[in-house]
Structure 1
Amino acid sequence: MLRCLALALCLAHPARACETALLLAIDISGSIDAGEYALQVEGLADALDDPEVAEVLQRGQVALAAVQWSGVGRQALVLPWRRMLSGAEISRFAQAARSLPRAFTASDTAVGEAIGFSLAQFEAVADCKRRVIDISGDGPENAGYTVGRARSAAQAAGVEINAIAIEDMGPSAPITAFYSRLVVTRGGFVMTARGLQDYPQAIRAKILRELEKPAS
């Protein structure tokens, strides 16, 4: 009886389905020093606090989670799934991201294991229409060597993988090429950050590209 006081009221405020489950997979391998780690978590938090990003997260009732990853067997769900149902919820997630402790130090770069671990997290958000892994990294796979199988598993499960490649300063782009060829799924994309100083702008642009839809 108390579920809905009036049919008109129920129809005026229909439940909104989750459009996208977006998992942020953050590289914390040994090549990421303390200052660079701080740039990543601060950059992520700043992106989430951005009004345009917050608006698209809330509009799509996006579910967000974050994983930190490095070597073989070193992956951790550091921010469990939360639904971005309000500006306050987005602010709480951003604040939690800003104060995240580092889960691992001095380890290798097991990209395939990071993807496999991330795939397993989507069971908790099965109602979301799209599932996206947003992985960032500053080096190619040098441990585990499972990236090909992991990408195939993601494609078979209908999970998209997009990436931010964190490159050294200069014209070369070996990390971008690695993620483009071997990591992102069909239709996915790679954004390049020239050093971690570029990471905050890259993660903002990447989230907007993943979530914004062209006007119909």
Structure 2
Amino acid sequence: MPSRRALNLIAAGAAGIAMSLSSILPPGAVAEGVEVDLALILAIDCSFSVDQREFALQMQGLGLAFRREEVKRAIAQGSRGRIAVTAVQWSDDQNQAVVLPWTVVSGGTESDALGQHLANLPRQLAEGGTSIAAALTFSAALFEGAPAAERRVVDVSTDGRNNSGPRVAPVRDALMAQGITINALTILNEWPTLNIYAENNVIGGAGSFAMPANDYEAYGEAIFRKLLREITGPGIS
């Protein structure tokens, strides 16, 4: 269960961000009582190793990915034709925050609006160590407020190994037991073998995978390919 502090962050973040989204996303975009093909959590690394330029490259990459036609088509071609997305910024075991509430996207203009919003999101979290384990625990609790979904996926991006809070592997196993898939985008600028670490300790669940990016400049293309694979579903490369 998330801590009282975590629940307060969720409530405060969702309330404030939902107001800003109301002027950007189409009416009815915020998720309420709908079914989707995929409930996707974007877990964005804001640890000490991520400077402001690198953070901006992450957000710009995410924003551009949702505006690409291939991603829009993948969303629209699902059996329900829509997905739900939320975003979390995280660093150490004391710092996680929701920066985008659950939002339903059906491709087209909704995907464009979501991409624009993500690209312009500021860094809202204090820097700290790297607690992938805490980010996963925090993210898993958010599925309680998600729309009913055929698949539930945590998409975690990181350039480091877990160095704060509990060990990752037991947390990964707990999420897998709940039917949650964990995928990783590993940025290899500091740890050239980080993708192997993620494969052994972080990812898990049906169709899970680790997608490497050599550096932050390569993040945009990597997150595009990762999102396309996640939206389309297991078995797609």
- TM-score scaled by structure 2? 0.79
2:149 is paired with a residue whose SS is coil
Matches within 5 A, 1:170-209: 173-186=192-205, 187-209=207-229
Matches within 5 A, 1:28-177: 28-60=46-78, 61-168=82-189, 173-177=192-196
Q: Determine the C-alpha separation between the residues in 2 that align with 1:192 and 1:20.
A: 22
**Contact 1:113/1:146, CA 8 A, preserved across alignment:** no
Q: Which residue of 1 aligns with 2:14?
A: none
**Contact 1:23/1:118, CA 8 A, preserved across alignment:** yes
Q: Determine the C-alpha separation between the residues in 2 that align with 1:58 and 1:73.
A: 37
Matched AA of 2:76: Q
- TM-score scaled by structure 1? 0.86
State the superposition RMSD in angstroms.
1.8
Larger radius of gyration: 1
Q: Where do 4+ consecutive residues of structure 1 move more than 3 Å?
A: none
Aligned residue pairs total 198
1:128 is paired with a residue whose SS is strand
Show CA shifts across 1:146-176 (max 9, x none). 312210111110000011000028xx73211
1:19 is paired with a residue whose SS is strand
Which runs of 5 or more structure 2 residues have no equivalent in the other structure?
1-33
Which runs of 5 or more structure 1 residues have no equivalent in the other structure?
1-15
